[in-house]
Amino acid sequence: MAGVYGPHPFGYNRAMKSLQNLRIVLGITGGIAAYKSPDLVRRLMERGASVRVVMTTSATAFVGPLTLQAVSGQPVATNVLAMADGNAMGHIELARWADLVLVAPASADFLARLRMGRADDLLAAVCLTTTAPIALAPAMNQQMWQAPATVENCVVLRERGIHMIGPAAGAQACGEVGPGRMEEPLAIVEQVAEMFANRALAGRKVLITAGPTREPIDPVRYITNRSSGRMGYALADAARDAGAAVTLISGPVTLTPPDQVELISVETAAQMHEAVMSKVVGQDIFIGCAAVADYTPAAPAARKMKKSEVDLALTLQPTADILAAVAGSGNGLFTVGFAAETDNLALNARAKLQRKALDMIAANLVGGPDRGFDSADNELHVFWADGDRVLPLASKSRLARELVALIAERYQAARSANVGD
Ligand code: PMT
């Protein structure tokens, strides 16, 4: 039986933007404002972010790593060479893990080192390595902030796409008054949420499937697959953050339901098919990320099947192809499929794109430990009729944001082409 949970997305409270599933490396450098860092960690986590703290050596003179470990619930990293103890991630792992590197407070010295591309401590090395966005919340004496060297460093860092949060002006710890105070934790959190809330799908309705299905053999046994739902749930987060009203139809998973997303829980392929078709009218975009069973037992037993000594053959029958049904429903949805392949990725994905009459298909290699089913990361090769793009290995939340941005781009292009027809 399908169940409906969660508030309808039109009730989305823009005043409390979510950071759900966003992975943030919080860098703390040496400055008195570091005493606000535990509060910042708490507020980021309240909004749903996962936080890993990296401190410079001088930051540890202002606030204890143990405090930050307690509030973040994760080991705090301070030293690029201490990573070998296996307790914390190394700079490459941290850089890959992050959806955002936020440095707060960012000292004048750190701005200068970042501008120079130094890698002489763990935080600088993470910043140099990461391909995730970097945001800095500077904090320093007002003379240091206004010094020509700092001004020039900030110009260069902004030109490189680094996001500056503040600083605010006012009374400073040194007794002077002027610009250079770190923004308050709440204001930093709001700006981070703003960075990730684009409006690419504002006003659009997006229907997404996620997770596995379970096909019953008898009342206690079923056929399923390794899908965890992570990729589909991350897509729901990303589409919502892009301004869409999102309905997520999910097979059985153990994930926390996304905020401000209508969630419909189902178990079997037939239930998923029924739920999707009941929701399809009025939607703009469909993303089929679920690993729907291709076959289901033709006649599930009403009672628990007894063990016997002879071979057992199960008769399976094909399930309805939900993706093809949506693409062929005549409702004009922009339809995006997934292709899970163990070989011939491009060839098989392009064949599915054509056969199911899709607008786009996101292909992933599955079967390995570091991507695809039930992993934290993934890599996608996305195809459409006259183009393709590789979205390199990254966390599923980051990849979902990139895929949603690409879907929005292609969706707009398709709409403009239709208007021009
Ligand atoms: O959930 P995770 O652990 O995060 O893993 C993510 C993922 C690997 C499940 C995801 O990235 C993915 O690849 N999803 C599609 C899995 C799949 O079933 O692929 P497929 O190549 O067998 O199917 C092609 C497409 O047809 C898919 O969009 C699928 O949703 C759809 N389909 C398949 C069968 C069916 N009966 N109905 C369908 O709609």
Going edge to edge, which strands form the sheet with 205-210? 3-5, 262-265, 245-250, 205-210, 285-288, 334-341, 360-365, 377-384, 387-395
Q: What is the pLDDT of residue 83?
A: 53
Quick one: pLDDT at residue 155?
97
SS3 at position 103: strand
User: Cα of 292 to ligand 1 centre, how many Å?
Assistant: 6
Read off the pLDDT of residues 297-352 as tens digits, 9 standing for 90 and up.
999 999 999 999 999 999 999 999 999 999 999 999 999 999 999 999 999 999 99
Q: How far apart are CA 98 and CA 160, in angstroms?
A: 18
CA-to-CA separations, 62 to 56, 101, 170, 287, 335, in angstroms, rounded: 11, 21, 21, 48, 53
Closest CA to 145 of 112, 186, 185: 112
Ligand 1 center to residue 323 CA distance, Å? 9
164 burial via Cβ count (<10 Å: 0-12, 13-18, 19+): middle
Contact 370, 377 (CB under 8 A): yes
Q: Which residues contact 277 (CB under 8 A, 6 or more apart)?
A: 325, 326, 329
Model confidence at 10: pLDDT above 60: no
CA of 291 to the centre of ligand 1 (A): 4
Residue 155 is given by DSSP the state H
Q: What is the pLDDT of residues 117-128, one digit of tens each?
A: 999 999 999 999
Write out pLDDT tens, residues 371-407.
Answer: 999 999 999 999 999 999 999 999 999 999 999 999 9
CATH of domain 205-295+315-420: 3.40.50.10300
Per-residue pLDDT tens for 82-112?
554 455 678 888 998 899 999 999 999 999 9
For residue 356, the ligand 1 atom closest to its alpha carbon is 26
Q: Work out the percent of the chain whose per-residue pLDDT is above 70.
A: 93
pLDDT of residue 15: 44
What pLDDT digit, counting tens, does each position of 55-92 carry? Answer: 999 999 999 999 999 999 999 998 766 554 455 678 88
The H or E element that residue 214 is part of is none
For residue 2, what pLDDT is reported?
Answer: 41
Question: CA–CA separation, 312 vs 9, rounded Å?
Answer: 47
Average pLDDT score over the chain: 92
pLDDT class for 235, splitting at 50, 70, 90?
very high
Give the mutation target among 338, 371, 375 for probing the ligand 1 site: most ligand atoms within 8 A of CB.
338
Percentage of the residues of the chain whose pLDDT score is greater than 90: 82
Q: Which pLDDT value is given to residue 17?
A: 67
Report the run of H or E that residue 74 belongs to, with start and end: none
> Which secondary structure element, helix H or strand E, spans residue 263, and what is its range?
strand 262-265
For domain 23-195, give the fold.
Rossmann fold (3.40.50)
Amino acid 280 reads V
Instruction: Show the tokens assigned to 137.
Output: 């919340």
Find the 227 Cα to ligand 1 centroid distance in Å: 9
Whole-angstrom Cα distance, residue 291 to residue 228? 9
Contact residues for 166 (Cβ-Cβ < 8 A; gap 6+): 137, 138, 139, 181, 182, 183, 187, 188
Burial class (CB in 10 A: 0-12, 13-18, 19+), 145: buried
Do the beta carbons of residue 60 and residue 78 sit within 8 Å?
yes
Query: For residue range 149-203, what is the model confidence (pLDDT) as tens digits?
Result: 999 999 999 999 999 999 999 888 888 889 999 999 999 999 999 888 888 999 9
Active site residue 174: yes
Dihedral angle at the C-alpha atoms of 236, 239, 241, 246, nearest 10 degrees?
-70
Instruction: Let me know if the fold of 23-195 is the same as that of 205-295+315-420.
Output: yes
Average pLDDT over residues 210-238: 97
Inform me whether the pLDDT recorded for 8 exceeds 50: no
Residues 6+ apart with CB under 8 A from 85: none
pLDDT the model gives residue 421? 53
pLDDT for 282: 95
Tell me the best of 213, 323, 354 to mutate to test the pocket of ligand 1, counting ligand atoms within 8 Å of each CB and taking the most.
323
Cβ(167)–Cβ(179) below 8 Å: yes
Domain residue extents for the chain: 23-195, 205-295+315-420
Which residue has its alpha carbon closest to ligand 1 atom 18? Answer: 291
Q: How confident is the model at residue 258 (pLDDT cuts 50, 70, 90)?
A: very high
Q: Residue 324 in 3-state DSSP?
A: helix
Total-model pTM? 0.81
Question: How far is it, in rounded angstroms, from Cα 285 to Cα 178?
Answer: 49
